[in-house]
Every structure is written in structure tokens, then in C-alpha cells.
Homo-oligomer: A and B are copies of this chain.
Amino acid sequence: MAAPASPLVQRILDGDPRALARACTLVENRSAQAADLLKSAFPHTGHAFTVGITGSPGAGKSTLTSALISELRRAGQRVAVVAVDPSSPFSGGAILGDRIRMACHHDDAGVFIRSMATRGALGGLAPTTHDLALLLDAAGFDWILIETVGVGQDEIDVARLAPATAVVLAPGMGDDVQAIKAGILEIADVFVLNKADQPGAARLEQDMHEWPRPLVKTVATTADGLPELLAALETLRAALPPHRTELHWAARLRQMFAERAVARLDANQVDAAARRIAGRECDPYTIIEEWLKV
């Protein structure tokens, strides 16, 4: 752990935003240099408080994240955001909207925003997101916000793997959405009841009483409730049990291992096995056992 930082990491430690952006790209693309880069950066991490922000589509996560950035900046904190886009390159509207909302922080050197596509290598979303968070941590940001849509195990994993997780709710979501939402209620360290000025907010607040987690009411568009949200997050940070960090790393190690193990499979070997299985010459379970023996 005492090895000197690589030149690129040294520039990140020195606060060079272009070096940071370049490193993020290397990590996101899983380039050959990424592993050495992350190893070199790792000893310089551990300062930032990383918060996962998730919730149903339409709950106002992006607007809330933007308002939270403003609140943190007022408190003199440097903030980095990893925004996980839920959609493919084919979608445009929602992402463009988010970008416009974020643009008001564009000229602030104390804010760094990185958008990430969710598509890509098998199971790679959560590992890559948290690798990016480590780079941002090494770069000296005080807070790292990971914003992700709260639907689907992969997206939920992204938020769950953060040391603290805020789940954003809003009144007026349909029944089906409620059903999905159930899966993310359990990962919340704090609930944010956004759009608290809209019809149904009082009832939603009442529904949430059964969950033993603090709830903060906000109207992200007007920044109402943002000081209270920041206070709740500060409380979480101060009270974070040490084993939470260890659980985080145990979960991350399993994900990283799965991803790297698959990446090392020989593509020709996989294709040949797939042909034999399709022809019912052998079964997939025996093949996997053979591969695991190597």
C-alpha cells in the first residue's frame, strides 16, 4: 500500500478535473490500465461519504440530487455525482432533462458530475459505479452521490452497496410502481418524501410510518426541506456502524469476483460449449462444473 501513486492518480490527488475525467473513462470502459489505476488510487480513499439516492421513476431523484448539491455547496462541501442512466442510447428525453437540471452546477469547480450508461458487461453496473466512486473519493470530494433508478436488482444493488442509502418516494405513483418500490424500501437508511406539497403526500407519509427509518419531507423544485435532508444525512454519517463498511466490501468483493471470473472465460470455449448444448450433446451443468474445476 506504500507504493507511490501512478502519474495519472497523482494528478487526480492534485485536483486536476481533466485527469479525473480521463480516469473515469478508463474505469468505465474497463480498459487495461483500470486495475492498476484503481489499485494506485485505493490507499487515498476513505474520506468521502457516499450516499446512494434511489427511488421510483418520477419521484424526482434528479431534481432532488441537484438541490442537495446546492445545499452541500452552501455548507462548503465538495460534491461528486455518479448518475446512472437507466436507459439505452435510444432514449433521449429523460436524460436530456436531467442534464439540463444538472447544468446549473456546470461552472462550479467544487462539483463533479459523471453520467454512466447502465448497459454493458454482464453484472458490471454496480462494480463499475463503485469503482468510479473510489476515484472520486481519492480526488478529495467530501460527498459522493450515486443516483440510480430504483427498479431492478442491478440498479438497486448500486444504491444498496453505498454506505448509506436514501430512498426517494413521491405521492401519486400507480399500484404497479408501488409493488416494485417494495423491493427498495428495505434498503433505505433514510426516506425522502419528495413532492410533499402534492395531493396524497399526507397519506403516503402515514403509510410510511410502519418503516423504522427517518423520513424527510422535501419539495426539490423549491429546495424546501433540503436543510433537513442534509441534517438527516449528517446524522447517518456520524452514526454509521463500522461493520457497515465491512458488509459493503464483502458484497462488493462477491460482485467483483463474479464479473472478473466471467471476463476471463475464453469466448471460443463458451461458443463451442453452447453449440454442443444446443445439440443436446452435453448438459450445461456438467460443463460449468468442469470449468469451475480448472
| Interface residues of A, Cβ cutoff 8 Å to B | 1, 35, 38-39, 42-43, 45-46, 57-58, 86-88, 90-91, 93-95, 118-119, 122-123, 125, 149, 151-156, 174-183, 185-186, 242, 245-250, 252-262, 264-265, 270-271, 273-275, 277-278, 280-289, 291-292
Contacts and interface: CB of A to CB of B under 8 A. Distances in A.
A174 B260 contact: no
Contact of A151 (B119, B122, B152, B283): B152
A244 B284 CA distance: 16
Nearest to A261: B261
A182 B88 contact: yes
A180 B283 contact: no
A178 B292 contact: no
Contacts of A185: 88, 90
A176 B94 contact: yes
A253 B284 contact: yes
Nearest to A122: B254
A61 to B, nearest CB: 10
A50 to B, nearest CB: 13
A155 B42 CA distance: 33
Given A152-B152, A247-B274, A280 B1 contact: yes
A258 B126 CA distance: 15
- Please give me the 10 A-B residue pairs with the lowest Cβ-Cβ distance, nearest first: A152-B152, A91-B182, A57-B176, A94-B179, A249-B274, A42-B283, A151-B151, A153-B154, A250-B274, A258-B258
Contact of A57 (B94, B155, B179, B292): B179
Nearest to A93: B175
Nearest to A245: B278
Contacts of A278: 242, 245-246, 248-249
A151 B180 CA distance: 9
B91 A283 contact: no
Contacts of A57: 174, 176-177, 179-180
Contact of A153 (B38, B125, B247, B253): B125
A282 B1 contact: yes
